[in-house]
Amino acid sequence: MQISLQDMADSNVAMASNSRQMLESLLNKSMRIQMTDGRTLIGLFLCTDRDCNVILGSAQEYLKPTDSLAHGEPRVLGLAMIPGHHIVSIEVEMDSVSSPPYM
């Protein structure tokens, strides 16, 4: 079986299209992002870029539990940009994925 360059290009375009659709479906959904320094940010997913930087709206920051200032109270950030190289994990709330967007 031989695969042509055109077939490979078509496959790459299809994969990129599927990835884009998946990202678009997450727009305005609530996300929890764990960072390398132990902080957690929760907010609405607004955009990303090629470097995997993420922008959250209505973001709140939760400090890691070992910090002396961490009492479970979030710090309101509003709009936050998280550099991709500081992201450890991203979780999307299932309730926000299944509900229709509010516009």
Is residue 36 situated within a structural domain? yes
Q: Diameter of the chain by CA atoms?
A: 62
Is residue 63 situated within a structural domain? yes
pLDDT number for residue 15: 79
Q: Which domain holds residue 32?
A: 27-98
Q: Name the pTM for this structure.
A: 0.75
pLDDT number for residue 101: 52
Is residue 31 situated within a structural domain? yes
Is residue 68 situated within a structural domain? yes
102 versus 84: which is more confidently predicted? Answer: 84
pLDDT number for residue 3: 66
Nearest to residue 80, comparing CAs of 21, 32, 20?
A: 32
Looking up residue 65, the CATH number of its domain turns out to be 2.30.30.100
CA distances from 5 to 2, 8, 14, 17, 19 (A): 10, 5, 14, 18, 21
- Dump pLDDT digits (tens) for 22-49: 999 999 999 999 999 999 999 999 999 9
Is residue 14 situated within a structural domain? no
Is residue 58 situated within a structural domain? yes
